[in-house]
């Protein structure tokens, strides 16, 4: 469904992605793990069109989307919940959700999706008129995922949804991710520091190191790989 | 070395506070003396305030354009005064033709609305073109580059209008329905000033509602807050930036026509001083803050209108009204020194973080 071919992305002279290739098939959860600075966020932002690669292509269902502006990519169903949540602090919860449906014109569908988000995260429903900046970290993460859902994703890009959350909340978030995938058929590309959690929900995974894919395989294979265990799963 | 630096710093600060305190004392002493002498009647004070509101409404309308562009691009659009000038300049040719043909007398309200529309459309077109041609290609360039471009654009527009329409002062025709006074709560108020105040308030309310309630207005706020995140939500950032320029142009063009009704004349340099005053108003209210620009404009308008008579007069300064520009710019400097975030502004650091 989503195919990334040989991406080379630069920040000025910094060569951040050195030929990343990966695929995400329809209905899959694929995870991207790797140490800080490996290039995970850069990969997602290149897919989303915020960064333009110097080389390489991004294909959605075989169609090239590399040169499209970000809003066109969202319109085609590739939606990202960015790292650090990036909630609009001076807009209310409702406004944050409304704005995330910007590309859509189906009023009824938008209303239903908003209800779905509030069903998924009842805590957001209670705070619908509260400003985004006043939410707790966990609530902001719920809102970030909720916003991504409002964009009607076919492929959902999640950048570290567990960052800074208490263990109980992390589990709640991951359950939601799995539910979105299995019940609603959303294809998911999940970037995570928490490799253990990520590999427990994902079907397949890629390991990134300094801008390159160093390992790929099914989640089970990666979980059992000794190098992965040592580097990312904390011990043997 | 460290300690010496710190001492110098406090030294400058003490000096600044002394200057600030001295100015405040002058204002207070001047005001008390003027009021004690009783030179102006309460009727006259009221006139000053009403004029201040009318003038402040115009400042506020212009200030909105500065503040929205700053909020969304972090850039001061120094050509905004010329965007303001362009509307009533083009509007003039429509007004004068309609006045000569008698249309103004037959259809005073309709003709006024036509000139208003022409002014708003002209200023909006110029604002959007300017963004498209001069600023958009520079997005991502160091901040100084668009700033210098804006100053260049400002001169370009001034001399374009001078070249096209001449350097002479053009006198707007009179609308009979705007001459004379109306009694309000027992006080006689000049009709023109009243209309200017009402129109400015309506326009501001309209803009505020647009930004708060409509989808496009929310997109403007989202892009101002976090451009990349807004793009990830599917907002067309370039188009939204153009919309914010257009909104600034609409308000400036309307403000320009109100200015022409209030002061009766327009010419190619007319945007310069009101432009800087409105910029002062935007800084005063907290640049980037929409209600702040409205508040700052109104405040500056009133302050400038009553200030010379209130405290300069009391200090025995001859011809105090000539010094009203000094008041505005002294205020700009004082705000920048003592409260750079303005009345409603938040700290820039937290906003940009
Ligand atoms: N805006 C930027 N300017 C310059 N270099 C950058 C920028 N953003 C990222 N980089 C560099 O690109 C490389 C990849 O960064 P990226 O943010 O993609 O890593 P990441 O895998 O998401 O890390 P983390 O787990 O810490 O989020 C790093 O070396 C980083 O320093
Ligand atoms: Mg990252």
The chain B residue lying nearest A76, using CA atoms, is B234
Closest residue to atom 6 of ligand 1, CA basis: A11
> What was the pLDDT predicted at B10?
76
A12 CA closest ligand 1 atom index:
4
Please list, in sequence order, all residues whose beta carbon lies within 8 angstroms of the beta carbon of residue A33, skipping any fewer than 6 positions away.
A40, A191, A192, A193, A195, A198, A199, A205, A206, A207, A208, A222, A228, A232
Q: What are phi and psi of B26, to 5 degrees?
A: -60, -45
Q: What is the pLDDT of residues B114-139, one digit of tens each?
A: 999 999 999 999 999 999 999 999 98
Q: Binning pLDDT at 50, 70 and 90, where does residue B3 land?
A: low
Q: What is the pLDDT of residue A164?
A: 80
Block residue for tokens 């319109």: A75
CA–CA separation, B48 vs B133, rounded Å? 42
Q: How does strand B181-184 pair with strand B170-171?
A: unpaired
Model pLDDT, residue A228: 82
- And the tokens for B73? 């691009």
Residue nearest to atom 25 of ligand 1 (CA): A36
Mean pLDDT of chain B: 87
pLDDT tens digits, A198-226: 999 999 999 999 999 999 999 999 988 88
Residues of chain A numbered 45-74 and touching chain B (CB < 8 Å): 48-50, 69-71, 74
Q: Which residue of A has its CA nearest to B220?
A: A99
Q: Are B189 and B50 in contact (CB under 8 A)?
A: yes
Q: Is the CB of A14 under 6 A from ligand 1?
A: yes
How many whole angstroms from A37 Cα to the centroid of ligand 2?
A: 7
- How confident is the model at residue A190, as a pLDDT? 96
Q: Which residue CA neighbors atom 17 of ligand 1 most closely?
A: A41
Residue B289 has pLDDT above 70, yes or no: yes
Centre of ligand 1 from the C-alpha of residue A38, in Å: 7
Each residue's pLDDT tens digit, A60-84: 999 999 999 999 999 999 999 999 9
Nearest CA in chain B to A75: B234
- Across the interface, of B218, B228, B236, the residue whose CB is closest to A99 is B218
Rounded average pLDDT over B36-41: 76
Is the pLDDT at B2 greater than 60? The verdict is: no
At residue B8, does pLDDT exceed 80?
Answer: no
Distance A191 CA to ligand 1 centre (A): 13
Q: What is the pLDDT of residue B9?
A: 67
Ligand 1 pocket, A42 CB below 6 A? yes
Q: Cα of A56 to ligand 2 centre, how many Å?
A: 20
Give the gap in angstroms from C-alpha B250 to the nearest C-alpha of chain A: 24
**A153 lies within 8 A of chain B by CB:** no
Closest residue by Cα to atom 24, ligand 1, is A36
The answer, yes or no, to whether residue B347 has pLDDT greater than 50, is no
Which ligand sits closest to the CA of A39? Answer: 1
What's the pLDDT at B352? 36
Task: Tell the burial category of A51 from Cβ atoms under 10 Å away from its Cβ (0-12, 13-18, 19+).
Answer: buried
Q: Which of A7, A11, A32, A46 to mutate to test the pocket of ligand 1 (most atoms within 8 A of CB)?
A: A11
For B151-204, write each residue's pLDDT tens digit: 999 999 999 999 999 889 999 998 888 888 888 877 888 889 999 999 999 999
Average pLDDT of the residues in A120-133: 93
Task: Decide if A75 touches B, using CB distance below 8 A.
Answer: yes
Instruction: Give A134-176 pLDDT, tens digit per residue.
Output: 999 889 999 999 999 999 899 999 999 988 888 888 888 899 8
Give the confidence band of A236 by pLDDT, cuts at 50, 70, 90. very low
What ipTM goes with this model? 0.92
A40 Cα nearest atom in ligand 1:
21
The 10s digit of each residue's pLDDT in B219-239 is 999 999 999 999 999 999 999
């Amino acid at each position: 469904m989503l195919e990334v071919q040989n991406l080379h992305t630069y920040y000025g002279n910094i060569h951040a992605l050195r030929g990343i290739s990966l695929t995400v098939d329809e209905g899959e959860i694929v995870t991207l793990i790797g140490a800080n600075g490996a290039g995970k966020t850069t990969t997602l932002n290149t897919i989303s069109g915020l960064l333009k690669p110097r080389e390489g292509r991004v294909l959605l269902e075989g169609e090239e989307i590399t040169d499209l502006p970000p809003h066109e990519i969202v319109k085609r169903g590739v939606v990202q919940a960015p790292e650090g949540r990036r909630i609009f602090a001076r807009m209310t919860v409702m406004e944050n959700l409304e704005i995330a449906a910007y590309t859509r014109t189906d009023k009824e569908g938008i209303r239903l999706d908003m209800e779905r988000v509030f069903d998924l995260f009842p805590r957001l429903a209670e705070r619908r008129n509260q400003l985004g900046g006043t939410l707790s970290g966990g609530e902001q993460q719920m809102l970030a995922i909720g916003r991504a859902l409002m964009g009607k994703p076919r492929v959902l890009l999640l950048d570290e949804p567990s960052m800074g959350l208490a263990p109980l909340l992390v589990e709640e978030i991951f359950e939601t991710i799995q539910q979105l995938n299995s019940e609603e058929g959303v294809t998911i590309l999940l970037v995570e520091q928490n490799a253990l959690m990520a590999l427990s929900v994902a079907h397949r995974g890629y390991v990134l190191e300094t801008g390159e894919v160093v390992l790929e395989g099914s989640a089970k294979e990666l979980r059992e790989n000794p190098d992965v265990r040592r580097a990312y799963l904390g011990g043997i | 070395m460290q300690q010496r630096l710190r001492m110098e710093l406090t030294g400058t600060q003490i000096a600044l506070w002394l200057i600030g305190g001295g100015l405040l004392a002058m204002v207070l002493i001047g005001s008390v003396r003027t009021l004690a002498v009783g030179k102006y009647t309460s009727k006259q004070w009221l006139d000053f305030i009403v004029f201040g509101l009318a003038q402040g409404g115009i400042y506020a309308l212009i200030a909105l354009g500065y503040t929205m562009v700053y909020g969304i691009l972090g850039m001061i659009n120094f050509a905004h005064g010329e965007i303001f000038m362009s509307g009533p300049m083009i509007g003039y040719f429509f007004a004068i033709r309609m006045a000569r043909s008698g249309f103004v007398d037959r259809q005073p309200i309709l003709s006024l609305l036509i000139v208003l529309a022409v002014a708003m459309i002209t200023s909006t077109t110029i604002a959007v073109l300017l963004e498209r041609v001069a600023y958009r290609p520079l997005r991502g360039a160091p901040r100084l580059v668009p700033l210098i471009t804006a100053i260049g654009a400002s001169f370009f527009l001034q001399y374009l209008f001078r070249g096209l329409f001449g350097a002479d002062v053009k006198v707007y025709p009179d609308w009979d329905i705007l001459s004379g006074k109306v009694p309000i709560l027992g006080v006689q108020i000049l009709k023109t000033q009243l209309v200017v105040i009402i129109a400015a308030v309506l326009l501001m309310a309209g803009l505020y509602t647009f930004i708060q309630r409509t989808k496009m207005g929310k997109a403007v706020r989202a892009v101002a807050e976090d451009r990349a995140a807004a793009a990830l939500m599917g907002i067309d950032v370039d188009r939204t930036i153009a919309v914010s320029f257009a909104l600034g142009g609409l308000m400036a063009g309307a403000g320009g026509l109100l200015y022409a009704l209030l002061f009766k004349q327009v010419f190619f340099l007319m945007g310069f001083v009101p432009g800087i005053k409105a910029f002062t108003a935007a800084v005063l209210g907290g640049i980037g803050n929409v209600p702040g620009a409205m508040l700052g404009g109104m405040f500056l308008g009133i302050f400038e209108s009553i200030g010379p008579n209130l405290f300069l007069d009391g200090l025995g300064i001859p011809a105090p009204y000539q010094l009203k520009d000094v008041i505005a710019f002294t205020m700009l400097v004082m705000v920048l020194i003592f409260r750079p975030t303005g009345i409603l502004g938040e700290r820039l650091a937290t906003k940009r973080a």
